[in-house]
Amino acid sequence: MKDRLFIRLKSDEESLEWGLLSTGESGAAFKEQGELLLDDLVALAEQAMEHQVILLLPASRVRCFKVKAPTRNRKQLEKAVPYILEEQVLDNVEQQLFALGSVNTDGMLAVNVVDKAYLADLLDRLKQASIEPDFVISDAACLPLFDDAWSLLEHDDAILVRQSANEYWSTEADMLADLISWNLQTQFEENQTVSQAIRIYSPDENTELLSGMAGLAIQKMPVEDSFEWLCTQFSYSSINLLQQEFSSQKKHQMNLGLWKLPAVAAAALLVVGLIYLVSQMIVLGQQRSQYEQQILASIQQLYPNVTDVNTGLIQVSNSFSTLGGNAASSNSFMLLLDKSLAAIDTQTIKVSQLEYLSSMAQLSFDVETSDYSTLTAAQNKLESAGMKVDMRNASENGGVWSARISVGVKE
């Protein structure tokens, strides 16, 4: 895995800690780390340009909720969720960002809420320092998740607690016992069950946190560097707060729908090349010849002097490089595409809206088919082909099932 730059805003919100995490055969560890004032962020600009950036916000800034999903259509959920949670959030819903997670098997949707003005101001300060994050999450969301226990991290400026997949928060040490007791009681009242075990991660092997709480099973887990350990626990399944109007606009994401006019022409060539690649794999005999003629006609609209498909594909490759694609990202892109199209039956599934995130070596695309079982069969076949697969936003409209599939290489 490529090195990743982690930036954690401290609870005073004017200082931060950072670390460049590298993963090798012996595990993950910081190659470099340090602390800065927020006003001195520009010192990290060069590293931010070269690596994926993950920004950790104080857990006190992010509120966690679960709601019954009225639909699985993401656009509709973005409109409905703020009003479902209006009474719980209390603040003006128009001023809050409702970042959506996934819908679980029980139909419950995980939601993180953060103040829009706060997030916009913070992202603007980073942008002024030439830093644009790929992921923004609560720092407590990095804590490990267990079925039989809560997890807690004792860090220098906060106590971070994670109760479940989408219940995490922070507090000061002198309030920890009261908040743990209150949350245990709330859990019991809601579910008639209660977790009475907690794993405490701390650089202090003799920590006395929660030692006076009767009936609570405590397992102490020493960690040498609490910030480094926290970053090693980060998971891409966490809710990324960069959603809706805050979606990342990094150039290397190659989002076809966001390119300006000069880039659109090259993007169109890339799509033409992909269509040709698909035709190579799924079209035989006369059908292939027909596809070649269609592709050549499309290429000639932008390159009138091109007289054969192969020359046109060379133009496509050159356009890819011009837009920031290098040999490594191009090879990774083509590898994922080859594997995906080999695993998907394009006679029954329509593939569209390709998007390649080079920083994560992840290919995403929309699919449409006539029934849900075909979608799940495609997901299983992709996983059987050795890929890491995430299928989101599966929904049915007028007898057509659609979803967004993201694939990457398993680590």
Would you tell me how many other CB atoms lie within 10 Å of the CB of residue 326?
Answer: 12
Burial (CB < 10 A; 0-12, 13-18, 19+), residue 118, is: middle
Whether pTM exceeds 0.75: no
What's the mean per-residue pLDDT of the chain?
Answer: 82
Q: 326-411 has which CATH code?
A: 3.30.1360.100
pLDDT in the model for residue 331: 53
Three-state SS for 411? coil
Three-state SS for 162? strand
Q: How far apart are CA 247 and CA 251, in angstroms?
A: 12
- 273-327 pLDDT, tens digit per residue, is 666 565 555 544 555 566 567 666 655 655 566 677 666 655 554 544 444 444 4
- 114-172 pLDDT, tens digit per residue, is 999 999 999 999 999 999 999 999 999 999 999 889 999 999 878 999 998 999 999 99
Report whether 372 contacts 396 (CB < 8 A): yes
Model confidence band, residue 333 (pLDDT cutoffs 50, 70, 90):
low
The H-assigned helical ranges of 149-251 are 176-191, 226-232
Model confidence band, residue 193 (pLDDT cutoffs 50, 70, 90):
low
Three-state SS for 190? helix
Give the residue extent of every domain in the chain: 263-325, 326-411
Report whether 319 contacts 266 (CB < 8 A): yes
